[in-house]
Amino acid sequence: MSVLESEVRPGAYADSIVLMQLQGALAKLPGVLDAGVVMGTPANLDLLAANGLLADELAGVRPDDLVLVVRAESAAAAAAALAEADGLMERPGATAGDEFRPHSLASAAKLMPEAGWVLVSVPGRYAAVVAREALALGRHVFLYSDNVSLEDERALKQTAGAEGLLVLGPDCGTAAVGGVGLGFANRTRRGGIGLVGASGTGLQAVAARIHAAGGGVSHAIGTGGRDLAAEIGGVTARQGLDLLARDPETAAIVLVSKPPAPAVATRVLAAARAAGKPVVVCFLGQPPPARRLGSLWFAAGLTEAADLALERAQERALEASAEGDGRVAAAGGRGALRGLFAGGTLAYEALRTLSAVVSPLASNVSFPGVEPLPDPSRSRGHTVLDLGADAFTVGRPHPMIDQDLRLRRLRREAADPETGLIVLDVVLGEGAHADPAAELGPAISEALAGRDDLEIAALVVGTDEDPQDLAAQRERLEAAGARVFGDLAAGLAWIAERLRPEAPEPLLPVPLEALAPPAAINVGLESFYASLVGQGARAIHVDWRPPAGGDERLQAILERMKDR
């Protein structure tokens, strides 16, 4: 038999690590079998229930309420344990020190004016207010807190982007600047690989592997998991890439993110291409668009990303200062892409590669991140068409045999002044048209006549044993003015090089000093302060409490009063 006793403290606040320690301490008291100390969120109540700790009295508990539950051998033991809770909570933690602890960020900033960073790990609903204050004080923010709204994130990053400040987060687990880890960070030797990532443990796994393989990390810029969402636009990732591009210590960059919004992905990749350094891109859960596109290398996973970066950094070290500043323009597109494919899989491969480079991209082929084309007879902006799709082939031969459809479309696309680049595949071999270049050649010449702002690329799939004579086909297409590729991947890389997304709103460059060994103000989890001090960084800890003791209405009033 056991007895369950609970206590609810409405609106009470304690550092979550303090709660964890209290729970551990309660569980160790005499006669206590198990204990739970949590905020009263639905998930936490489910968890109490799953562990046989959900007392009946907890029916009306709210997320703001602090809940203490004890299961004990007797009612007396349970009551005794709960009575000890306050004493246990006040016991100084392992990291408590004697230093003076300011009660506000503002006074901490006065005490340590050289602190360029503020670490924020207070509960989510208070975090945006603290971060805003830090930005107003001109400091970069490492925003560990989660459960911050998308609107708050957007507003914080817009402010930061316009003022040359960084907001790493919210929900940013990991960063390392100037050799000092912020939040969660593995200790690695320093070296030439810079990391940017919307993924905390992703960055850690890459950093740990780089270290294990003998490489080193220059800096790691965590961005928070939502930075590459459409609403945020990759502000921090773009700032981070730009910073590492200018950082002389960084020879190669790794960019890690869970699947980004398509339009954001293209802009962030454009920023990566603009870095003028090799960038290894790992968009987890997304098919890599290619093995390589110019200075970008694509990895399907974290281990591979680390390995590719190690290779790139080594190559780069060999090249050394031989080359100048390789930075290129991040944006400024040419005309629209029009891909007119006979081969369905070739259209698919084109989408895979090119959807990483331009957005929006439309197609009659369904592909993640690509817009469906409502009327395949009309192209719209960047468009890739599979002319062998069922809808086009009822009662007519496949376009690999019958080129009429494609020749007509080619003429129409060339007549569209929006069109800047037309891509055709030419599939040779048994069963295919006996001499496709004989028809395509004149059509290509005609299309290019009088349009010096138009290019045409032909991706040829064939062998030197094919009946059509591969070399003659290539020659004829080249003579007509097309750029001809025998290798699909190489052709798509060339096309990708020609396409640029629209320029995103400009960001004020973040001064390189952001990457110097940091001095920092810590607001929230005391363990982060201890970690900073342990790493030899100058740091100050704010003895933060929720404004108005956790009362949100009162807090809102106080906030408004401050603004006046």
What distance in Å separates the CA atoms of residue 496 and residue 354, rounded to the nearest whole number?
A: 6
Site membership for a copy of itself, residue 212 (CB under 8 A)? yes
Q: Which is nearer to a copy of itself, 426 or 444 (CB)?
A: 426
Q: Where in 11-30 is the site for a copy of itself (CB under 8 A)?
A: 16-17, 19-20, 23-24
> Which own/partner contact pairs does 395-401 have at CB distance under 8 Å and 24+ positions apart?
398/342, 399/342, 400/342, 400/343, 400/427, 400/431, 400/432, 400/433, 401/431, 401/432, 401/433
What distance in Å separates the CA atoms of residue 343 and residue 387, rounded to the nearest whole number?
A: 8
DSSP 270: H
What distance in Å separates the CA atoms of residue 143 and residue 135, rounded to the nearest whole number?
A: 12
Site membership for a copy of itself, residue 485 (CB under 8 A)? no
Q: How far is the CB of 420 from a copy of itself (least distance, A)?
A: 21
Q: Where in 29-88 is the site for a copy of itself (CB under 8 A)?
A: 38-39, 41, 43-44, 46-47, 50-51, 63
Q: Which is nearer to a copy of itself, 298 or 494 (CB)?
A: 298
Q: Which two tokens stand for residue 456?
A: 């045409």
> Which of 136, 408, 497, 536 forms a contact with a copy of itself (CB under 8 A)?
408
Pick the piece of the chain touching a copy of itself (CB under 8 A) from 76-84, 133-141, 394-402, 556-564.
394-402
Residue span 219-248 as binding mask against a copy of itself, x where in contact by CB under 8 A, dash where not: ------x-----------------------
> Which of 81, 488, 496, 521 forms a contact with a copy of itself (CB under 8 A)?
488
Site membership for a copy of itself, residue 398 (CB under 8 A)? yes
> Which of 7, 57, 73, 304 forms a contact with a copy of itself (CB under 8 A)?
304
> Which of 113, 395, 450, 506 forms a contact with a copy of itself (CB under 8 A)?
395
Residue 26's SS3 state is helix
Q: Which is nearer to a copy of itself, 10 or 509 (CB)?
A: 10
Q: Which two tokens stand for residue 321?
A: 């200062």
Q: How far is the CB of 488 from a copy of itself (least distance, A)?
A: 5
174 class by beta-carbon count within 10 Å (0-12 exposed, 13-18 middle, 19+ buried) = buried
Q: Where in 410-439 is the site for a copy of itself (CB under 8 A)?
A: 412, 425, 427-432
Site membership for a copy of itself, residue 543 (CB under 8 A)? no
Site membership for a copy of itself, residue 215 (CB under 8 A)? no
Q: Which is nearer to a copy of itself, 247 or 425 (CB)?
A: 425
Q: Which is nearer to a copy of itself, 279 or 510 (CB)?
A: 279
> Which of 179, 233, 288, 550 forms a contact with a copy of itself (CB under 8 A)?
288
| Start-to-end C-alpha separation, the chain | 59
Instruction: Identify the helix (H) or strand (E) that includes residue 125.
Output: helix 124-136
Tally Cβ neighbours within 10 Å of residue 97.
12
What distance in Å separates the CA atoms of residue 211 and residue 214, rounded to the nearest whole number?
A: 5
DSSP string, 313-378: HHHHHHHGGGS------S----SEEEEEESSHHHHHHHHHHHTTTSSSEEESS--TTPEE-S-TTS
Q: Which is nearer to a copy of itself, 479 or 490 (CB)?
A: 490
- Which residue is it, tokens 């930061």? 160
Q: Where in 332-371 is the site for a copy of itself (CB under 8 A)?
A: 342-346, 348-349, 351-353, 367-368
Q: Which is nearer to a copy of itself, 200 or 501 (CB)?
A: 200
DSSP string, 188-206: ----SEEEEEE-HHHHHHH
Q: How far is the CB of 224 from a copy of itself (least distance, A)?
A: 12
| E-only strand ranges, 61-184 | 66-72, 117-120, 140-143, 167-168, 174-177, 180-183
Q: Which is nearer to a copy of itself, 321 or 366 (CB)?
A: 366
Q: Do residues 117 and 528 touch, judged by C-beta distance below 8 A?
A: no
Q: Where in 512-541 is the site for a copy of itself (CB under 8 A)?
A: 525, 527-528, 531, 534-535
> Which of 126, 392, 494, 544 forms a contact with a copy of itself (CB under 8 A)?
392
Q: Where in 83-122 is the site for a copy of itself (CB under 8 A)?
A: none
Q: How far is the CB of 418 from a copy of itself (least distance, A)?
A: 17
Site membership for a copy of itself, residue 195 (CB under 8 A)? no
> Which of 83, 187, 543, 559 forms a contact with a copy of itself (CB under 8 A)?
187
Q: Which two tokens stand for residue 230?
A: 């459409």
Instruction: Identify the helix (H) or strand (E) that includes residue 263.
Output: helix 262-273
